[in-house]
Structure 1
Amino acid sequence: MDERGIVNLMASEGQRLALRMVEALLFASNAPLSKSDIESRLPEGSNVDALLIELQHAYSGRGVNLVQVAGKWMFRTASDLAFLLQRDQGEQKKLSRAALETLAIIAYHQPVTRAEIEEIRGVSTSKGTVDVLMELGWIKMRGRRRTPGRPITYGTTETFLVHFGLDVIGDLPGLDELKGAGLLDGRIPAGFSVPEPRDGDELTEDEDPLDPGDLLASHLDDEG
């Protein structure tokens, strides 16, 4: 074997090793890993993007798939086999209709205050409903609206994206997808639209940072 062949063989072996390392890191992690998390543990010069794509393709028809959620990577049971694990899961507390509606409004309208949630729902939203979603880790306090009373604004979390298998909040279904899934009545009012969710944790122009007391509180204070 000539020198070029030896170099190519060494490169091939290095690629296989790097691929195995990525596979091991993802398999052992109990949380999604970012590209930088993976890159920091691989030999210098490793093409992480190419390795992830190759690994994703290799697992595409397997019992577990490599998926990207919240901008990070993780192994997840293939969607068509999820029923196999249902018997092993403990009984989960079902969310109330109020909690589901509140979660949907926050996901699509974030950043949003409790008063704005109530305006959209047309009914009052109890503090307990928001607390339940906070305890699940699906929503968080973002900041305070620059309006009288400086009410707290809410948004979704990375945990929300991971739980629902979303890479970014913009992956939430739009109007046509919701209608196709039968989640919206075919006789919806003219002009009805589903807002396009906004990505990012950066505060908007009408938001101030949370107060120090907000960050230390173990429960939500009344807004206003």
Structure 2
Amino acid sequence: MTAAETVREAMLSEAERIAEALVFASAEPVTEGFLADRLPKGVIVPDIMARLKARYASRGVNLVQVADCWAFRTAADLSFQLRRDEGEVRKLSRAALEVLAIIAYHQPVTRAEIEDIRGVQTSKGTLDVLLEAGWVRFRGRRRTPGRPVTFGTTRDFLDHFGLEEIRDLPGLEELKGAGLLSGRIPPTLSIPSPRDDDLTEDEDPITQLDLEELGLLTPRGEEAEDHT
């Protein structure tokens, strides 16, 4: 190894150590932009994270990618060894699981579209549970009469289910292979390819006024009155 190669390898090793410390110290998945601002100039963040991921691949803690972020997680084959306090994770009802699956595969999707797919009405409480869990979010407003709200999944959803991106959701053949679909599948059944987080052409972004209307923010006028 030449002197220049030795110097570069030393720089990359130091960049790995810094990235490792930054991800370890963060309570939330760390974005590549955050890492780029703090790593030595000239290093390529995805390359550094790939090196670090390989080092942790066979250990009890793995470095995993969640969308454009990175986090340390317990190795999947050891998760059964860990005990969680009862009630830490709220058990979802069958209805909530159905709604979550529909949102994951069909996003962006409105409440009316969810009900059309399920064939039954969806209670506000079911959606509230998913919103409170942090797995579902308001994406935007559909450019149709009434401007219904569209729903989509979150980064926390990807993190919880061990997905790097929404496209990693299992397809029809994988679901059949896992026994999650019965042998008698209608020939017309299809599972759409999940979309990314970009707004579609028929969606408008959620605004401050929309959030106030949805009850997620206090109207500015009322807030001003509270301080008088």
Same-fold call, TM > 0.5? Answer: yes
Please show how residues 198-217 of structure 1 align to structure 2 within 5 Å.
Answer: 198-200=195-197, 202-216=198-212, 217=214
**SS at 2:73 equivalent:** strand
5 Å matches for 1:188-199? 188-199=185-196
1:203 positional shift: 2.2
AA aligned to 1:17 is E
> Which residue number in structure 1 is paired with residue 130 of structure 2?
133
How big is each residue's C-alpha offset from its partner over 1:43-92, in whole Å with a ceiling of 9 and x where there is no partner?
A: 1112322221111111111001111112211111100000121x243333
Question: What SS does the corresponding residue of 1:106 show, helix, strand or coil?
Answer: helix
Distance 1:214 1:6, change over 3 A: same
Amino acid in the other structure paired with 1:98? A
Tell whether the 8 Å contact from 1:143 to 1:203 is kept in structure 2 after alignment. yes
Distance 1:187 1:54, change over 3 A: same
- What is the rounded CA distance, in whole Å, between the counterparts of 1:218 and 1:172 in structure 2? 31
Given that 1:18 and 1:42 are in contact with CA atoms closer than 8 Å, whether structure 2 keeps it comes out as yes
Q: Which letter does structure 2 place at the counterpart of 1:169? A: I
The aligned residue for residue 111 of structure 1 is 108
The counterpart of 2:140, out of the listed 133, 140, 143, is: 143
TM-score (norm 1): 0.89
Could you tell me which runs of 5 or more consecutive residues in structure 2 were left unpaired when the two chains were aligned: 218-228
Higher relative contact order (CA 8 A, sep 6+): 1
Q: CA deviation at 1:194?
A: 0.8
Amino acid across the alignment from 2:85: Q
Q: Structure 2-normalised TM-score?
A: 0.87
Match of 1:180 in 2: 177
Q: Secondary structure at the match of 2:156?
A: helix
Counterpart code for 1:25: L
Write out aligned runs for 1:15-54 (5 A). Answer: 15-54=12-51
The one of 95, 99, 106 equivalent to 2:96 is: 99
Amino acid in the other structure paired with 1:156 = T
Aligned partner (choices 69, 72, 76) of residue 75 of structure 1: 72
Task: Indicate if the aligned counterparts of 1:131 and 1:219 stay in contact, CA closer than 8 A.
Answer: no
Match of 1:160 in 2: 157
| Distance in 1 of aligned mates of 2:28 and 2:125 | 28
> Is the CA contact (8 Å cut-off) linking 1:141 and 1:153 kept in structure 2?
yes
Cα shift readout 1:28-56 (whole Å, capped 9, x = no counterpart): 11111122211111111123222211111
Between the aligned partners of 2:156 and 2:18, the Cα distance in structure 1 is 25
Q: Which residue of 1 aligns with 2:224?
A: none
| 1:143 match: secondary structure | strand
CA RMSD of aligned residues (A): 1.9
Query: Percent of aligned positions with the same letter in both sequences?
Result: 59
- Letter of the 2:86 partner, please give it: G
Distance in 2, matches of 1:5 and 1:185, equals 61
1:180-224 deviations in Å (ceiling 9; x for gaps): 111111111112111111112x3222222335332234459xxxx
3-state SS of the aligned residue for 2:95?
helix
